[in-house]
Every structure is written in structure tokens, then in C-alpha cells.
Amino acid sequence: MLNGVFPASWSNPLHAALRVITGLLFVSHGLTKLAHWPATDYFPAGQPLPPLMLVAGILELVGGVLIVLGLFTRLTAFVLAGMMAVAYFMAHMPSSFFPIQNGGEAAVLYCFIFLYLAAAGAGAYSLDSSRK
């Protein structure tokens, strides 16, 4: 019944929008860990990050930029999907299995969006498509 709500010509721009917005949001997680900008209560300035959070911040920042640019997207997205699965099971699941109870909805969404990008690639509007 809803077949054809969006014209097929919107597929590439919407794929790019999903990739770019996801990447920008991921960059913001890395920036708040590494540069304390934008500032959050989770990672106050002046306190050193635990080593695992430092690695996560670097992956979020560098991986997010690569996702935004659409460069090495399949490999980057696969690594980031794994990182988000680990984050969910280490940080969220110990308090409850259900994401709605343990605050892990974002981790699950990021994981599956990155899995999609690992399978589908960066799409038409990306540096990966210009390298072919």
C-alpha cells in the first residue's frame, strides 16, 4: 500500500544522509571524550579517561570522520559495529537485558546502522564511489 511513497530517485540521497548524520553524531561522541567538547557530565574535563574509553574516543572520532566522508566505509563500519556491540554488552547489558531499561538503545542502533553500511557500502555520494 505504501509502495512508492518516496521516488526511487531519493534512494541515493537518503542513503548518504543516513551515513553522514550517523557519522557526525559518532564524531560528537569522540569529541566529547577526547576534547570535552561539547561538554557533558559523563566525561568531565580534567579527569583522565580510562584506557578503553580513550580507544573508544579515537575510534569514534576517526571512524566517524571516515563514515561522513564515505572513505573505507565497509571496513570502518564493520569495526564500529563491533565496537558498539562490545559497548552494549560491557556497559549496558550488565544492568538489564532490555535496551529500554539499560539505556543501550543508541548502542544497538549504531551497531545495526554500521552493519548496514558495512554490507551496503557508502553509496553514490561518497569518496569510496569516486575511487572506483
| pLDDT tens, residue by residue, 65-92 | 999 999 999 999 999 999 999 999 999 9
Under the banding of pLDDT at 50, 70 and 90, the label for residue 7 is confident
Q: For 66, what's the count of Cα atoms within 13 Å in the CB-facing half-sphere?
A: 20
* Helices then strands, each counted (H, E), the chain: 6, 0
As a whole number, mean pLDDT of residues 16-20 equals 98
As a whole number, mean pLDDT of residues 100-106 equals 97
- What pLDDT shows up at residue 44? 81
Q: What is the pLDDT of residues 21-71, one digit of tens each?
A: 999 999 999 999 999 988 888 888 888 899 999 999 999 999 999 999 999
Between helices 73-87 and 51-69, what is the axis angle to 10°? Answer: 150
Higher model confidence: residue 47 or residue 113?
A: 113
Going by C-alpha positions, the residue among 88, 77, 91, 82 that lies closest to residue 128 is 77
- What is the three-state SS of 66-121? HHHHCCCHHHHHHHHHHHHHHHHHHHHCCCCCCHHHHCCHHHHHHHHHHHHHHHHC
pTM: 0.93
Residue 122, pLDDT above cutoff 70: yes
